[in-house]
Structure 1
Amino acid sequence: MKFGNEFASQTVPEWREAYMNYKHLKTLLKEILIFRRRQTKLPVPVPSLKRRVSLFRAFSGLTTNTSHASSKQRHKEDEAIIVSSKMHQTDEEQGAEECSRSYQTIFLRSSEEGGDLELVFFRGLDDEFNKVMEFYKSKVDEVVKQAEELNLQMDALIALRIKVNHPLMEVTQESKISEEDEDKRVSLDVLNRVKINATTETPRSTVRSVFNSLNLELNYSKNELKHAQGKLKQAFLEFHEKLRFLKNYAFLNQLAFFKIMKKYDKITSRNASDVYMQMVDESYLSQSDEVAKLIDRVEAVFIKHFCNGDRHRGMNTLRPKCKREKHRVTFFVGCFFGFSLALMVAIITSIHARDLLKDEGQTQYMNTIFPLYSLFGFLLLHMLMYAANVYFWTRYHVNYSFIFGFKQGTELGFKQVLLLSFGLSVLVLAAVLANLEMELDPETQSYKALTELLPLGLVIAVLLVAICPLNILYRTNRFFFLICLWHCICAPLYMVTLPDFFLADQFTSQVQLLRNVEFYACYYGWGDFKKRDATTCNDSNLYQTISIVIAVVPYWIRVLQCLRRFCDGRDSTQAMNGLKYLSTIAAVVSRAIYTLKGGTTLKIIAASTSGVATIFSTYWDIVMDWGLLCKNSENPWLRDKLILPSRYIYFIAMVLNVILRLAWMQTVLDFHEAPFLHRNALIAIVASLEIIRRGIWNFFRLENEHLNNVGKFRAVKSVPLPFIYDYEDEDKDA
């Protein structure tokens, strides 16, 4: 792999713009190389730009070595550059002790032919180095302040541990009790200066904050201790990850400057890399040891106070192993895909061989069995769209794992999602084929109940796998999904995070799947499934009313989530987002009532509300969720930063979003049943189009979220700390 590609693959996606722009500098070197080739008129290849390298290969430049000592003994006439530095203060730094240092390279051979190109290169090189230095210094200052805050949090936690575990101790005396606290003398007076950070994250705390005055005082309970310890442990994990990112940032950039200067030397036959790399070695980027010291301190504290001194367990938690690609996953994806194709061919062959499409039971089959199995079809299509999303997110370096908040190393790649999808498709298609064979085989025609129970058995099997506590079939991801699902159900009692509202948005595109779940309950609960009779369900007014309510529930959940986010952050855009979902609820209800009762007035109401909701939702999708249609952006009518290389893809996505959102028109235009399609088949097609639209929306929604994180250099999660120090009391005491 070329160094440029390997360098890009090792960068922190959210900090990508802060790294040295290796690609740009290499382009400048190519211009110098082309000029020199024209001067000499020799077909000189570019071997230096195609060398295979490794990020972990030893190189001069990161440590002081004899090459720099020998460079000082060179004759002055051999020198090509002089690197100087100067101190300066910004407006914010006036009066501060520390000043910023900028570096400038003076090119001594600018009068030579092609010297202007080399001068441009060194100006670009200086700009990149100063950019890297400024970013690194700012991040080091940031982590030093965070370390001080975590130190205060640990003082409070240890004091709380002592108070909870040894309640008879005097509050004011200094303690040195348990083995875990043996090297840290903590004054228990710190508990008089802190309050618990009661972030409303649970239904109980939310209700209590609404109906009661919020009690922020510590009451020294074990539950409170456990809660604080869990928060602080997560804060240490995120802080350690940030430190590792910063250490890797410094290493990669030093390596990149070394590589680009070696390429310059090889192209120009000069010896400038020693001088420049000596400056890099002596700079804050190389000489600073704050990050390394903080990593050692964080690891020592974490192992001692959160892992009971077990270093092996502590280091496995702080530095989880990289996720490895398993070849058996690829093998089984291929197997299940092949099995699915074979079963589909067998089903189609069976239907055509027996001419089942003209059978008298076709209508009965479409009214009963088709809705039962189409539920799995909607689910499989959504999973396949998610697999495609994961593939393209990975390909274009969208950090979906960080955005969704997956535990490091547990996120599913697109192959794992395909494995689950094709595995489920094999079960579903096998059940469909078995259903057909049992119905047509004279020896099994008497087993009507068993035939009709196949779809229900499949649903039960899927649910059992989803809630299975055993560590099989990606348990971490299954539980993550169930937790997000529970948060959606309990909205607005939980604080809303991105995975919660992202999942709720998926359910707004799976209304037909939810209606099929209702059909399952009615068909097997009140219908005569042994005789394949669903008239009890389809002709029931109560069933139709519940069907309308089910269609509204996902949008209502989103309204409640928007209300909660508005109350938490006072963000007016969330109020507008809630109004968008309310308009969609009005459209869904009016279309459902028109479908049941008909009439010109209801038709006009359905068309009007649907038109308003479509315009509102389309605008929100494209402008707010995707961040597109910016008039004055660098990319006209898109946005300043794009991930996909081709801009026309964004315009195609916008057009498709509008077209697919108009699928509701089949309702008001009375396309309930096409001449060659059953009504349920048409409904399934329209529902599938909405799932496809949602899959497209998913990619661009997360792309926009990723770019927002990049703009703010957010690479680790922000964890609320458990204790709040009351500095006002300290000022009063002073």
Structure 2
Amino acid sequence: MKFGKEFASQMVPEWKEAYMNYNFLKLLIKDIVLFRQQQSRLPDNYPTAPLPPSKAAALKRKGSLFRAFSGLTSRYNNRVTKKDKEDEVILVSAMHTSDVEQRGEGGNYQTIFLRASEEGAEYELVFFRRLDDEFNKVLRFYRTKVEEAVKEAEELNLQMDALIALRIKVTNPTVDSPFINQRYTGYPMEVIHEEQQEKRVKEYQMASLDVLNHIKINTTAETPLSAIKNVFGSSRSDPQFNKQELKDAKEKLKQAFIEFHEKLRFLKNYAFLNQLAFSKIMKKYDKITSRNASDAYLQMVEESYLGQSDEVANLIERVESAFVKHFCNGNRHQGMSTLKPNTKKKRHLVTFFVGCFFGCSLALVVAIIVNVHNRKIFSLKGTGRTQYMDTIFPLYTLFGFLVLHMVMYAANVYYWTRYRVNYSFIFGFKPGTELGYTEILLLSSGLSVLTLSAVLSNLEMELDKNTQSYSALTELLPLGLVIGVILISICPFNIFYRANRFFLLVCLWHCICAPFYAITLPDFFLADQFTSQVQLLRNLQFYVCYYGWGDFKKRDAKKCNSSDVYDVITIVIAVIPYWIRFLQCIRRWWGGHDSTQSLNALKYFSTIIALIARSIQTQRRLKKELSLKIIAASTSGIATIFNTYWDIVMDWGLLCKDSENPWLRDKLILPNRSLYFIAMALNVILRLAWMQTVLDFHEAPFLHKNVLIAIIASLEIIRRGLWNFFRLENEHLNNVGKFRAVKSVPLPFSYQHEDHKNQ
């Protein structure tokens, strides 16, 4: 693999803009190559083509400045090489300013090209000018992040002080001395400069239990009951100094250490990769120009803050030591496996089974088509066809919707991975547990094999002429399949990707209990998926009615289809996903995280009104009511316009008139801009297609009503799959703009007095 691709693959995706632009510098070197190749093919007296006036003038002025002030470079901290001055190509200097010098920081570095008088030197001047810009950008970013890391480490020190004091208070409440004995504490994690180490160690040795009087313990587990107490202001905030508080505080601080260690590893890798990139680009420059400029420049890189700073390495060592000591009982192997989880490896066996299951699925589809054709099940509008389409078909389309949604999610994961959208970080998966697209395809293809096998078994069934009933075992196949899927989902054993199943169940519980939990992206993302699976939820409702109230042995679902209660429940089932999203938006708006969530809540409320109006209008007795049709059409139109605008503008961040990419946004991931316009058009079309399901446009002479409903529902699932990709792309770009690559973990202790905290 070429270094450029390897360099891009090892970047922290959210810090991409802060890395050295290796590809652009390569293009500048290619310009030098092209110029030299052109000059070598021309005769000596051939006039060369001039550069554009503006560019040529700028380069000429820049070159003249370098030549004019080349004799004054002694006032900078230039490093003199051991080679003869005749062999020198560049001089690198640190340009100090008064503000920077007062803070004790190094200034911007500037390279002076000593061969500016040579022909074609303007291309090399441009190269070194941009090289300096890239190095100064990297240096500023690295320095800023290191300073942030040092401050975070100091905060973790204070947190460790409080944790150790709490541990002593809980485990040995009879201690009368106001000071913590050295054998309990020692020194948690020294993060300041080496010359302050001895002083800080003494402070830690005499750390006072009085710290517990100045802190608030933020370890109350978030539950629906605690949320209600907070609303009415009756929540208890006084520390009890019990074992549960100690356990919760330790767990929170442990997670904070893990995230902080990950950030430090990112910083260490950032410094190493950029130094390697500067080395590679300078070696390439030397090779192309036959000069020897890399030694001087790389020596400057090595002696700069990027190469000489050891804060990150020291912090990593001390974080690991503190983590092993305080959270792993001195077990270094356990501590390092927690701080540095193993990289997930691709398994060829998974790919093999994906191919097998998809092959079996295709074979089963062919077998079902042949069976239907030979038995002429759907050729005549008989009782058998009507019974099958009204009862068995809705039972199995539930799995079809589920498989299609999983396939769309697998496609999303594939393209997120391809375009380096950090979906694992955005969703908050535990490192190494996120499912790749092959694992998702394995689950979906396995489920499709089971479903199609059950469908084929039902088609092989014949009605018993003596009992006028179907085999109970065969008729119970769909119900058994549903129960099996549910049992696997809640299985506590470490099979079938337990970490992901648990993560899904937690998010599902948060959706059910909205708005009693703080709303995170996985919670409302999952709720949005349910808004596109209304037909799946209605099919679940049909399961309950068909097997609990109907006569499944005779494939008789008249009690379900003719019940007014069933119709009301159908409307409620369809409203539930949108109501959950409405409550989530209210919670986010009430928490003050995002003021636009009030409008988002209004959007879902308008959708609920439109959905109720459409559902009432499509009831059997009210189909011919013109006033209801007008109300349903108007509310549906308003809701569709509102939802479409929110999808494209708010969720996708598109339709920005003054952006660098007209009517899109400044930053795009997909290389072809036309794909964004196609996606916007498809979003509008597919939303209108979904409206046809409830606007009474579902009658067709060649298709059964349930088949057309299933097709329209599948189109909505496809629309949601497209929405998922661009929604997460926009979220990723927001993280990139803020250089947000590590989760922000709430700390267990907050100091009530800033003076004590500063001390």
TM superposition score normalised by structure 1: 0.93
**Residue 196 of structure 1 contacts residue 723 of structure 1 at CA under 8 Å; is this kept in 2?**
yes
SS at match of 1:580: helix
Q: Deviations over 1:644-699 (max 9, x none)?
A: 00000000000000111112442575323211111111111111111000000000
Deviation of residue 207 (structure 1)?
Answer: 1.6
Deviation of residue 548 (structure 1)?
Answer: 0.1
Deviation of residue 202 (structure 1)?
Answer: 2.4
- The equivalent residue for 1:332 is 353
**Residue 690 of structure 2 contacts residue 713 of structure 2 at CA under 8 Å; is this kept in 1?**
no
2:662 counterpart of 1:636: yes
Rate the CA distance shift 1:443–1:159 in 2: closer, same or farther, 3 A.
farther
- The equivalent residue for 1:424 is 447
- The equivalent residue for 1:314 is 335
Code of the residue aligned with 1:32 in structure 2: it is: I
Rate the CA distance shift 1:443–1:600 in 2: closer, same or farther, 3 A.
closer
- The equivalent residue for 2:436 is 413
**Between 24-33 and 561-570, the greater mean CA deviation after superposition:** 561-570
- The equivalent residue for 1:244 is 265
**Between 333-342 and 657-666, the greater mean CA deviation after superposition:** 657-666
Rate the CA distance shift 1:427–1:171 in 2: closer, same or farther, 3 A.
farther
Deviation of residue 175 (structure 1)?
Answer: 2.6
**Residue 633 of structure 2 contacts residue 695 of structure 2 at CA under 8 Å; is this kept in 1?**
no
- The equivalent residue for 2:744 is 718
Residues in 1 aligned to 2:161 and 2:529: alpha-carbon distance in whole angstroms: 44
SS at match of 1:358: coil
Code of the residue aligned with 1:375 in structure 2: it is: L
Rate the CA distance shift 1:362–1:447 in 2: closer, same or farther, 3 A.
closer
Residues in 2 aligned to 1:200 and 1:553: alpha-carbon distance in whole angstroms: 27
Residues in 1 aligned to 2:711 and 2:160: alpha-carbon distance in whole angstroms: 57
SS at match of 2:115: coil
Equivalent of 1:162 in 161, 168, 185:
168
**Residue 333 of structure 1 contacts residue 422 of structure 1 at CA under 8 Å; is this kept in 2?**
yes
- The equivalent residue for 2:124 is 118
Code of the residue aligned with 1:572 in structure 2: it is: S
- The equivalent residue for 2:472 is 449
Equivalent of 2:716 in 684, 687, 690:
690
Code of the residue aligned with 1:678 in structure 2: it is: H
- The equivalent residue for 2:18 is 18
**Residue 439 of structure 1 contacts residue 445 of structure 1 at CA under 8 Å; is this kept in 2?**
no
Deviation of residue 358 (structure 1)?
Answer: 2.9
**Residue 329 of structure 1 contacts residue 419 of structure 1 at CA under 8 Å; is this kept in 2?**
yes
- The equivalent residue for 2:307 is 286
- The equivalent residue for 1:546 is 569
Equivalent of 1:212 in 215, 229, 233:
233
**Residue 262 of structure 1 contacts residue 273 of structure 1 at CA under 8 Å; is this kept in 2?**
yes
- The equivalent residue for 1:88 is 97
Code of the residue aligned with 1:642 in structure 2: it is: L
Rate the CA distance shift 1:445–1:28 in 2: closer, same or farther, 3 A.
farther
Q: Which structure has more RCO (C-alpha within 8 Å, separation ≥ 6)? A: 1
Residues in 1 aligned to 2:359 and 2:757: alpha-carbon distance in whole angstroms: 72
Rate the CA distance shift 1:671–1:726 in 2: closer, same or farther, 3 A.
same
SS at match of 1:438: coil
- The equivalent residue for 1:2 is 2
- The equivalent residue for 2:704 is 678
Deviation of residue 285 (structure 1)?
Answer: 0.2
2:615 counterpart of 1:592: yes
Matches within 5 A, 1:31-180: 31-41=31-41, 72-88=81-97, 97-170=103-176, 172-176=178-182
Code of the residue aligned with 1:674 in structure 2: it is: A
Deviation of residue 210 (structure 1)?
Answer: 1.4
Residues in 1 aligned to 2:699 and 2:508: alpha-carbon distance in whole angstroms: 34
Residues in 2 aligned to 1:346 and 1:445: alpha-carbon distance in whole angstroms: 27
Residues in 1 aligned to 2:630 and 2:469: alpha-carbon distance in whole angstroms: 50
**Residue 88 of structure 1 contacts residue 100 of structure 1 at CA under 8 Å; is this kept in 2?**
no
2:729 counterpart of 1:706: no
Code of the residue aligned with 2:595 in structure 1: it is: S
SS at match of 1:356: coil
SS at match of 2:618: helix
Deviation of residue 100 (structure 1)?
Answer: 4.6
- The equivalent residue for 1:506 is 529
Code of the residue aligned with 1:97 in structure 2: it is: R
**Residue 606 of structure 1 contacts residue 668 of structure 1 at CA under 8 Å; is this kept in 2?**
no
SS at match of 2:329: coil
Code of the residue aligned with 2:85 in structure 1: it is: K
**Residue 409 of structure 2 contacts residue 721 of structure 2 at CA under 8 Å; is this kept in 1?**
yes
Equivalent of 1:614 in 634, 640, 653:
640
Residues in 1 aligned to 2:682 and 2:327: alpha-carbon distance in whole angstroms: 51
Deviation of residue 442 (structure 1)?
Answer: 9.7
Rate the CA distance shift 1:211–1:665 in 2: closer, same or farther, 3 A.
closer
Residues in 2 aligned to 1:203 and 1:716: alpha-carbon distance in whole angstroms: 28
SS at match of 1:434: helix
Deviation of residue 639 (structure 1)?
Answer: 0.2
Residues in 1 aligned to 2:562 and 2:537: alpha-carbon distance in whole angstroms: 19
**Residue 375 of structure 1 contacts residue 517 of structure 1 at CA under 8 Å; is this kept in 2?**
yes
Rate the CA distance shift 1:444–1:386 in 2: closer, same or farther, 3 A.
farther
**Between 338-347 and 31-40, the greater mean CA deviation after superposition:** 31-40
Q: Deviations over 1:422-441 (max 9, x none)?
A: 01000000110111113379
Code of the residue aligned with 1:479 in structure 2: it is: F
Equivalent of 1:558 in 581, 596, 600:
581
Deviation of residue 201 (structure 1)?
Answer: 3.1
- The equivalent residue for 2:411 is 388
Code of the residue aligned with 1:28 in structure 2: it is: L
**Unpaired runs of at least 5, structure 2:** 43-78, 189-200
Deviation of residue 487 (structure 1)?
Answer: 0.4
Code of the residue aligned with 2:726 in structure 1: it is: F
Code of the residue aligned with 1:672 in structure 2: it is: H
**Residue 171 of structure 1 contacts residue 189 of structure 1 at CA under 8 Å; is this kept in 2?**
no
Deviation of residue 208 (structure 1)?
Answer: 1.7
Deviation of residue 214 (structure 1)?
Answer: 3.7
Residues in 2 aligned to 1:601 and 1:613: alpha-carbon distance in whole angstroms: 18
- The equivalent residue for 2:555 is 532
RMSD across aligned C-alpha pairs, in angstroms? 2.1
- The equivalent residue for 1:60 is none
Residues in 2 aligned to 1:425 and 1:731: alpha-carbon distance in whole angstroms: 58
**Unpaired runs of at least 5, structure 1:** 43-69
2:331 counterpart of 1:305: no
**Residue 464 of structure 2 contacts residue 470 of structure 2 at CA under 8 Å; is this kept in 1?**
no
**Between 483-492 and 174-183, the greater mean CA deviation after superposition:** 174-183
Rate the CA distance shift 1:302–1:730 in 2: closer, same or farther, 3 A.
closer
- The equivalent residue for 1:323 is 344
- The equivalent residue for 2:372 is 351
Code of the residue aligned with 1:377 in structure 2: it is: G
